[in-house]
Amino acid sequence: MAKLLLLTLLGASLAFVGERLLAFRNSFGAVQELEPVEPQNCVLIEGLENGSEDIDILPSGLAFISSGLKYPGMPNFAPDEPGKIFLIDMNEKNPRAQELEISNGFEKESFNPHGISTFIDKDQTVYLYVVNHPHMKSTVEIFKFEEQQRSLVHLKTIKHELLKSVNNIVVLGPEQFYATRDHYFTNYVLALLEMFLDLHWTSVLFYSPKEVKVVAKGFSSANGITVSLDKKYFVSRMFCLRSPG
């Protein structure tokens, strides 16, 4: 009887691992066939050879791009280079990425930018909020954009015990944003195991100076987040497409 139970358990565990493996492969697009489509109106932006992570576009057509993310399990093109923020002007016919200078004593060596989001106040000052992973922690950095100097002035680092494994943010007002957490554990092995098991326990946080709270959970991997004009927001699950070539 004990043997039978053991065999049943073994069978069930193997079936579970098999199912998880398939789901994991599928979620990364590894077994999906796609028809190749020629990109329309696409130009290669020079100056971003070390990769780009997130983009946020201002109404004027200026776009910020975060680059150089170092993240567990993800390939990195320049492991010894710190992360950077680039600016492109989408009004130009052949826009070129220009690295933005960062001033005001910000520690650039450990800059590891992930999701970004802009906010324009009533005086038309542009602020850039950046999810940062210095030494694999999660902070949110606030910069003021100086358009004439093409630079970012560091204003503030936001830290909070709930701001862990942050992936992306969308800013609603001064120091007020929603943020996605794409995994729960911070330990590298546990984080990978967690993604593999797909436990649906990643979440969306609301942050304001007065209140920080989890507002939604149960996502397989809460990734990008953006807000619609009526201020209803949505999250997209991590999804990678691999070209047939």
Ligand X SMILES: *[C@@H]1O[C@H](CO)[C@@H](O)[C@H](O)[C@H]1NC(C)=O
Catalytic positions are: 114
- Measured from the CB atom, the residue of 50 and 110 that comes closer to ligand X is 50
- Measured from the CB atom, the residue of 49 and 89 that comes closer to ligand X is 49
Q: Is 104 assigned a ligand-binding role in the annotation? A: no
Instruction: Using alpha carbons, select from 183, 144, 179 the residue that is nearest to residue 159.
Output: 179
Largest Cα–Cα distance of the chain, in whole Å? Answer: 78
Q: Is 54 assigned a ligand-binding role in the annotation? A: yes
How many Å separate Cα 68 from the centre of its chain? 12
Is residue 189 helix, strand or coil? helix
- Measured from the CB atom, the residue of 113 and 207 that comes closer to ligand X is 113
Q: Is 53 assigned a ligand-binding role in the annotation? A: yes
Nearest distance in Å: CB 130, ligand X: 16
Q: Is 41 assigned a ligand-binding role in the annotation? A: no
Nearest distance in Å: CB 134, ligand X: 18
| 170 touches 227 (CB < 8 A) | yes
Residues in Cβ contact with 215 at an 8 Å cutoff, skipping those fewer than 6 apart: 178, 203, 204, 205, 206
> Footprint of ligand X on this chain (CB under 6 A)?
47, 49-50, 78, 81, 84
E strand segments, 8-125: 54-57, 62-67, 84-89, 98-99, 101-103, 113-120
- Measured from the CB atom, the residue of 86 and 127 that comes closer to ligand X is 86
Q: Which pair of structure tokens corresponds to residue 120?
A: 């324009």
Nearest distance in Å: CB 97, ligand X: 7
User: How far is residue 114's CA from residue 167's CA, in Å, rounded to a whole number?
Assistant: 6
User: How far is residue 55's CA from residue 106's CA, in Å, rounded to a whole number?
Assistant: 21
Angle between helices 2-27 and 188-197 (to 10 degrees): 90
Nearest distance in Å: CB 225, ligand X: 26
CA-angle at 222, arms to 18 and 34, nearest 5°: 60
Report how far apart, in Å, the C-alpha atoms of 74 and of each of 16, 22, 205 are. 25, 20, 24
Q: Is 168 assigned a ligand-binding role in the annotation? A: yes
Point out the annotated binding site: 53-54, 116, 167-168, 223
Point out the annotated binding site for Ca(2+): 53-54, 116, 167-168, 223
